Structures are given as structure tokens and as C-alpha cells.
Structure 1
Amino acid sequence: MTLYERDDFVERLRYRATVWRYLKLVVSGWWADRQAYARRRRGMIELAEMEDWQLRDIGVERSEVDRLLHQYGVAREQIKEDAAR
């Protein structure tokens, strides 16, 4: 193996490591986003299942909960289905 071939081989290995590192960052970022979305969704469902007096105790209005549910695309029917499971 000549010096040029060795340098070319090392450069290709370095490039592959960089690509895999970038791919790992993208996938781990996507996974963290999915987990955060699931936590927000569970929290909104818990708020939607609370009674009005419980929401008032924590300083939240029913209209705020409904607005968030609508904003994130969680329908009341989905909440009822999730609660039944």
C-alpha cells in the first residue's frame, strides 16, 4: 500500500465516522422529540380528565385545556378511547 492509498483509506474512514456520527445525532434528536411529544400528550389528557374544580385549584381554565387539545390535534374522542384502555 502506497502512502497515497493509505491517506485515501484513512480519509474515507474519517468520512464514514462523521456520517455515522451525524446520523446518530439525527436519530437521537428525533427520538427525544417523540418522547417529549408523548409526555405532553399524556399531560394534556390528564388535564382534560380533571374536573373543573380541580383545574381551578391549579389555576387553569377549561377553555385553556380545550385550546391546547385543539392545537395539538387531540380530540375528545381520543381521550375517551385512551381512558377506556
Structure 2
Amino acid sequence: MSPRVVYALFALTALAGCDVFTDTTDLEQFAYLSLLNPRFDENPVIRRTIEQTKDKLGAFGAAMRGLPDSVVEEIKRDSGEDSASGGGKS
């Protein structure tokens, strides 16, 4: 994927997060996780974090930067990338 396409996808994803987040760190993490998995916010850990950090500027971004690697890997696995080949979680 070309750098222009990556930038455009990142910008569009960040724009989608503008309804929820206004802090730059929050938006960066929202965009990053959205690119990993557009449904990342369905993960129970993420849902709980969104609820706990609501109305606290920068809190979501800080919490997402501290996510355990296992949660990030779970988000990647649940992205549905393997669904066409029958892999992934059901």
C-alpha cells in the first residue's frame, strides 16, 4: 500500500473519531486501533476503557498506549482478516 493511501486511510479513520474524541492522543489511538480492526470497540476491554475514560481528555489515548500485548493481538485476530480462509475466532 502506498504512503498516500495509508495517510488517506489514517485521516479518514481519525475523522470518524472526531465525534467522540477531541484530544490528539485519543484520536491517534482511535485511528490506530481502527486500522487494526474497524470493530475494535466491540472488545470488552476497549468498551470498559471507553466508558471509564469518557469526558477525560487524553485518558483514552493513555489507556490504549498501556494495553497489554495480548489485548492488541486479540483485536488483530478478531479483525476478520482470516474469515475468508476459515481461520480466526468464531
Q: TM-score, normalised by structure 1?
A: 0.25
Indicate the structure with greater helix content: 1
Higher relative contact order (CA 8 A, sep 6+): 2
Question: TM-score, normalized by length of structure 2?
Answer: 0.24
